[in-house]
Amino acid sequence: MNSWIEAEQPAHKNIKNLNKILKIPEFICSLLLQRNINSLEKAKQFFRPNLDLLHDPFLMKDMLKVVERIEFFKSKKIMILGDYDVDGTTSTAMLYKYFNFKGFNVSYYIPDRYQEGYGVSLKSIEHAEKNNFSLIITVDCGIKAINPVALANSKGIEVIICDHHLPGENLPKAYGIINPKQLDCNYPFKELCGCGIAFKLITAHNLMSNDQCNINAFIDFTAIATVSDMMPLIDENRIMVFHGLRTINSNPRTGLRNFLKSINSKIDESKISFNIGPRINAAGRMKNGKIIVELLIEEDVEKANILSNEVEFLNQTRRSTEKNVLEEAETQIIQNSFTNIVYSDLWSKGVLGIVASRLIEGSYKPTIVMTDSDEQFLTGSVRSVSGFDVYEALLKCEDNIFQFGGHKYAAGLKVKKSNFESFKTQFENTVKDSVSGKMFQKTFLYDLLIDFSEITMENVKILQRMSPFGLGNKKPVFRTNNCFLDQTLKFVGKESQIVKSKIKDESGKELSFISFDNKEALVNIKSTFDILYTVDVNSYSGKDEIQLMLREIYLK
């Protein structure tokens, strides 16, 4: 059995006090206290996120001088340069839409993943020079672009950097850098995505503008990027995602409408994570992210349909490619090692990160998936497991790495082919030493042990109002013991892997459930069992029904 760990429970007196104030069930008060919501005022802010609570953008270092400098360049050519993923393309589309509306001479550039790689490429600077751009604004990249920025400066092109990645020891010589992770930046919230920072930029510019517009009309971009980039849904992020989702559902952009039609239900954070985000990412993975910017800024319905069909084709190609690479990568897994490091010169760069994440699902350890970058280098995507800082591990292997960057749980890197074997050994030993020779064990954190009697439709609707869910505000996971199946199992899906049926607990209350990953366990159940699950409302034929989403099963 994998480890099931109960979250630290609040003091009973605190639960009672909050129950008196909010007049909601004690088990929900316990969930709120776990999220540091311990007063009526905090509860109001949590359940009704208010745009007025967003922080002043001018608290961010360099913001004032950057806004003034952009305004100075209004009559000149400006190039927005964004990364090719969801965060970068939504940031680029947002800045283009805003500054174009404000009458700026603005264009955009998305680097080609295969020809240029991540970030500010030398080719992008050459493009700016050739097309007479006077200013480059980077979004979701640039914080480590020391050489490209120096090249731009030498050509008389100014650079403004908007990025949320960790700065290195040395910073590029840009005119201004907007990044709250700078040590000397006093902005109170450090966990914005690139698009969140871009939203702060246009907010600041709009505040200083003589012809102010409704800046919140751009907040849907930020919602998509924040969820897709897996930023913590707390503080400003929660507010922007909450209101961005409202905008997507009430007045979606022309370019998104085909995607939303295929989903055919209310768009929440999970729909962005599993439907919209992967479609947007597919373009940058399989072709070029520029098509996504074109789609997101398109106002003509017919043109948007053509673009979205092409993006859908790229997404189907991505899924097929991912499946093939995953199957090949799984054959290289060494069970008793502390890391997964797999390589083939035939794999597509575009799916390395997804495959690394998929490998961790089956082999729970830090994972690197690599392929050829060119004749001299390998390129790879790195993913980690809960509690292990893979960025720190890569720092310890710097002598065998040509280039790397990223976060605690995800990174990208380049390694010389001649250093690959020594890097493999060094990374394996670094990870092993870091965890004192103990193999990684997958753990499942749950919020509360409850009975089915607590799961009423009224209570479930209160739980739903705790959304949007994500890092920092995970969807509540419950545990119920001594359950038993009450009806015959029903198998659905392409490969009949999805299981649906009814389940009872000791009280005898019966609830419907669905399970995506526990078919074998459910088929072989012969006694009572314990479950971890989340709670949803399944709506069909105009009728709402409570439905448990089974996460884990413990057979006794």
- Tell me the fold of 57-249: inorganic pyrophosphatase (n-terminal core) (3.90.1640)
Alpha-carbon gap, residue 220 to 223, rounded angstroms: 5
Q: Name the 3-class secondary structure at 466.
A: coil
Torsion of the alpha carbons at 527, 533, 539 and 541, rounded to the nearest 10: -10
* DSSP-assigned letter for residue 284: H
**CB neighbourhood size of 74 (10 A):** 13
Which of 194, 237, 166, 178 shows the shortest CA–CA distance to 57? 178
Which H/E stretch holds residue 202?
helix 194-207
3-state SS of 352-415 is HHHHHHHHHHHCCCCEEEEEECCCCEEEEEEECCCCCCHHHHHHCCHHHCCEEEECCCEEEEEE
Alpha-carbon gap, residue 314 to 92, rounded angstroms: 20
The alpha carbons of the chain give a radius of gyration, in whole angstroms, of 25
- Tell me the fold of 3-48+444-555: OB fold (Dihydrolipoamide Acetyltransferase, E2P) (2.40.50)
pLDDT for 1 equals 46
Token pair recorded at residue 199: 């939203």
**CB neighbourhood size of 27 (10 A):** 20
Which of 141, 153, 227 shows the shortest CA–CA distance to 177? 141
pTM above 0.85, yes or no: yes
- CA-based max dimension of the chain: 75
CB proximity list for 95: less than 8 A, separation 6 or greater: 80, 106, 108, 137, 139, 198, 201, 202
Amino acid at 490: K
Q: Where are the domains of the chain?
A: 3-48+444-555, 57-249, 332-434
Alpha-carbon gap, residue 507 to 499, rounded angstroms: 23
Pair 260, 295: CB distance under 8 Å: no
- Tell me the fold of 332-434: Diaminopimelate Epimerase; Chain A, domain 1 (3.10.310)
What is the chain's pLDDT, residue by residue, as a tens digit (556 residues)?
468 999 999 999 999 999 999 999 999 999 999 999 999 999 999 999 999 999 999 999 999 999 999 999 999 999 999 999 999 999 999 999 999 999 999 999 999 888 887 789 999 999 999 999 999 999 999 999 999 999 999 999 999 999 999 898 899 999 999 999 999 999 999 999 999 999 999 999 999 998 999 999 999 999 999 999 989 999 999 999 999 999 999 999 999 998 888 887 889 999 999 999 999 999 888 888 999 999 999 999 999 999 999 999 999 999 999 999 999 999 999 999 999 999 999 999 889 999 999 999 989 999 999 999 888 999 999 999 988 999 999 999 999 999 888 778 888 999 999 999 999 999 999 999 998 878 888 889 999 999 999 999 999 999 999 999 998 999 999 999 999 997 889 988 877 889 999 999 998 899 999 999 888 888 888 889 999 999 999 887 678 899 999 999 998 7
**CB neighbourhood size of 15 (10 A):** 18
